[in-house]
């Protein structure tokens, strides 16, 4: 008899790679683009990502004294908005698997003079290093599709969320407007990698990011995965015709 095989594969963009290799490959992508990440977000979305994130913050319903976890939040876009909302009696934790992204976030907060109730933690979303029932709200924006095992990450988020707490997942999804797919594909596959080359000097990383969007579960599939992980009242909002979706669920 032979032992268990350790050759499972997963997708890295459109490539099949060993599961054990994906986190490292994703890490290389974000280490490469960290310094230009926010500029590229503005270019890629024509600034609309700020509206998507504003909607997410509004749906989060964060209040004074609460504990918030922003996963894959290295550069701190969402966290910067949550800090004044939780106030001095609350806390915001920014967790990211990538050290370079966290460095950008720390520098940004230092420049803004924001400190005190924010913490930066290098962590893997699949095995979060936090106590059970700890956070009132968890957000993850444009990070879930880079996780190797989405089901494990959702289970880990459920574990560290307090009863009554909520999870918000902002992620690229599947366009639902007729005719939008063709336009979106042409823009994504032909223009975005060129923007990556011009602005971040990294065409390959942005080609991966485009491909990773196409491999991410659609709206209904992700909703079902959240329900399987234990989240109640899971639902989603299609934004920009479904190019992006905000999923929301509760631990009751």
pTM of the model: 0.84
What pLDDT does 211 receive? Answer: 81
One digit per residue, the tens of pLDDT, for the chain of length 252 reads: 444 445 688 876 677 778 877 777 666 666 655 556 666 666 677 789 999 999 999 999 999 999 999 999 877 889 999 999 999 999 999 999 988 889 888 888 888 776 668 999 999 999 999 999 999 999 999 999 989 999 999 999 999 999 999 999 999 999 998 888 888 888 778 777 777 777 667 777 778 777 888 889 999 999 999 999 999 999 999 999 999 999 999 999
**Residue entry with tokens 């004294």:** 65
Helix (H, G, I), strand (E, B) or coil at 3: coil
Separation between Cα atoms, residue 166 and residue 234, nearest integer Å: 10
- Smallest Cα–Cα separation from 96: which of 181, 173, 162, 37? 37
In whole angstroms, give the CA distance from residue 144 to residue 126.
10
Measured between alpha carbons, how far is 98 from 247 in angstroms, rounded to an integer?
24
Burial of 122 (0-12, 13-18, 19+ CB in 10 A): middle
Q: Distance between the two ends of the chain, CA-based, in angstroms? A: 45
DSSP three-state, residue 143? coil
Give the pLDDT confidence score for residue 1 in this predicted structure: 41
Q: Quick one: 36-175+217-250 is in which CATH superfamily? A: Vaccinia Virus protein VP39 (3.40.50.150)
DSSP category for residue 148: S
* 168 within 8 A of 59, measured Cβ to Cβ: yes
pLDDT at position 6, please?
Answer: 52
Q: What is the pLDDT of residue 2?
A: 41
Residue 27, pLDDT score: 65
């Amino acid at each position: 008899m032979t032992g268990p095989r350790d050759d499972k594969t997963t997708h890295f963009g459109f490539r099949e790679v060993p599961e054990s290799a994906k986190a490292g490959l994703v890490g290389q992508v974000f280490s490469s683009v960290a310094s230009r990440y926010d500029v590229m977000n503005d270019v890629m979305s024509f600034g609309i990502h700020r509206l998507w994130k504003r909607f997410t913050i509004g749906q989060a319903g964060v209040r004074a004294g609460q504990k918030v976890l922003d996963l894959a939040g290295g550069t701190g876009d969402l966290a910067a908005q949550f800090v004044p909302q939780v106030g001095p009696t609350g806390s915001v934790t920014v967790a990211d698997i990538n050290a370079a992204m966290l460095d950008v976030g720390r520098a940004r907060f230092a420049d803004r003079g924001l400190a005190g109730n924010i913490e930066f933690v290098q962590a893997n979303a699949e095995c979060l290093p936090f106590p059970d029932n700890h956070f009132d709200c968890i957000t993850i924006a444009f990070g879930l599709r880079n996780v190797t095992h989405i089901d494990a990450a959702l289970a880990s988020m459920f574990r560290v969320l307090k009863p009554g707490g909520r999870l918000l997942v902002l992620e690229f999804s599947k366009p639902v407007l007729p005719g939008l797919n063709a336009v979106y594909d042409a823009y994504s596959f032909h223009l975005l990698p060129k923007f990556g080359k011009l602005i971040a000097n990294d065409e390959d990383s942005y080609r991966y990011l485009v491909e990773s969007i196409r491999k991410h579960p659609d709206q209904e599939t992700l909703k079902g995965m959240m329900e399987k992980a234990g989240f109640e009242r899971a639902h989603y909002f299609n934004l920009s015709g479904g190019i992006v979706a905000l999923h929301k669920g509760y631990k009751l």
